Amino acid sequence: MTHTATGRTFLLPDLGEGLTEAEIVRWFVTEGEQVAIDETIVEVETAKSVVEVPSPYAGVVLTLHAAEGETVEVGKPLITVGSSTAALSSEDTTRDAERYREEEQAGSGNVLIGYGTSGHGGSGRRRRPKSAATAATAAPAPTPAADASRAAPEAAAAPAGPVLVVSPLVRRLAADHGVDLRALKPTGPGGLIMRADVEDAISRSERSGPTLEPAGAAAPASTGVGERRVPLNGFRKAVSTALSRSRSEIPEATVWVDVDATALVELRASVRTATDPGPGLLAYIARFVVAGLQQYPVLNSRLDTERDEIVELDQINLGIAVQGERGLVVPAIANAGALKTYELDAGIRDVTERARLGKVTAEELASGTFTLNNYGSFRVDGSAAIINHPQVAILGFGRIIDRPWVVGGQILARKITQMSFVFDHRVCDGGNAAGFMRTVADAIEDPASAIARM
């Protein structure tokens, strides 16, 4: 291919999640840099996850069409790459670029999570690391399409010393509320300014001064008290839509039971060694939940309202509710019904860690067939949870604490937890719900016998 001065513009692709926009979290390239096919160029945040987007083109970066913290609609320009003879002299380069665009148009999703665009597994994928200081201070050069009025206040004048703010969301929060980052005392490692530092400054300002409003915002009606307004981001909008739909469409019912988990706690302690901590309590509970769903498959189903049919699903993809940096998400462990306790433990730890970092895939977030919620980690006893539509049920556990319990006519201190179950009353009645609850509760109270039968 011959050299041409014409740049090629990469439009933000369909993210395969039914979403229409994404927020720029971090650029890994700057204007004037060379970029290779399949090199990670940007990290974007959707309503469901944070994903890395690789480049379908090789060449010189001419324009970054959005700054960090800005929102880009699907189909709008993301980056323009100028072609060069060296970058485009290989037939493999052209073929990989075409394959990338084919996957993008097909909505495969592979191109968004770095699986590669070529048959050799994406070995050409590179990512430029940034130091905290570089990430905090570097920003894309302004483009004609950029609105200069959206620049953060701290960009107008360079501070006397380095201001370490890695997250563009934290920078934007500070800008929206008029917080001078140079005046903050950082609490993060290496002098890093954390979100909590900015929120603390906002709170102090509210207590000592008038209402804080972003520049140019319309003044709300006076209430006589200080207030601050935080716009719903894409994630919170998606959560709001999903939960509102669940509440409006599903006639849910809730049942609960107190469970003596003493034997389960003792079983877990008995298998721990100095070198192997063994499965966590949630892994054992997950296995009992899977066994209960296999006995009551109507709870692992979907309701087809158009055809008035209950669709029971052959595979159990167990969703685990996780409170991450971006909010509550429910990634699923695929085919949990085929996993043993140790395998479930590994799966739970894996998705939990990645969910807290915002690194679970869209498929993991959308594939769950039943949700297990451990709200006991927040030191609460019970919850009337909201069903994760289009699922038909959710099971939750509160904290395990010592309580007086009657055993063999004697009052003893036992490890008690409250189990709550919310189900779609259109799909099943109280009999099935109670049967499922007792299956799980009985297994927790006599775990050794339950595991022997599985």
Rounded distance, CA 453 to CA 95, Å? Answer: 54
Quickly count: other Cβ atoms within 10 Å of residue 129's Cβ.
Answer: 7
Work out the number of other CB atoms within 10 angstroms of the CB of residue 271. Answer: 12
Question: Residue 215: is it exposed, middle or buried by C-beta count within 10 angstroms (0-12/13-18/19+)?
Answer: exposed
Distance CA 18, CA 327 (A): 19
List Cα–Cα distances, 99 to 66, 202, 327, in angstroms: 25, 48, 35
Looking at the DSSP assignment, which residues form a beta bridge with residue 412?
405
**Spatial contact of 23 and 70, defined as CB atoms under 8 Å apart:** yes
Q: How far apart are the first and last CA of the chain?
A: 62
The Cα–Cα gap between 334 and 287 comes to 13
435, 325 in Cβ contact below 8 A?
no
Closest CA to 129 of 255, 26, 6, 267: 26
422 close to 393: Cβ distance less than 8 angstroms:
yes
H-helix segments, 177-233: 195-208
Both tokens of residue 281?
A: 């309590």
- Per the annotation, the verdict on 3 as an active-site residue is no
Q: Say how many C-beta atoms besides its own lie within 10 A of residue 142's C-beta.
A: 14
Q: Angle, to 10 degrees, between the axis of helix 262-271 and the axis of helix 281-295?
A: 120
Q: Is 418 left (phi over 0), alpha (psi -120 to 50) or beta?
A: beta
Q: What angle do CA 149, 150, 155 make, to 5 degrees?
A: 90
Among 88, 90, 87, 70, CA closest to 78: 70
Of 3, 120, 177, 425, which is the active-site residue? Answer: 425
Helices and strands per DSSP (H, E), number in the chain: 11, 19
What residues act catalytically? Answer: 425
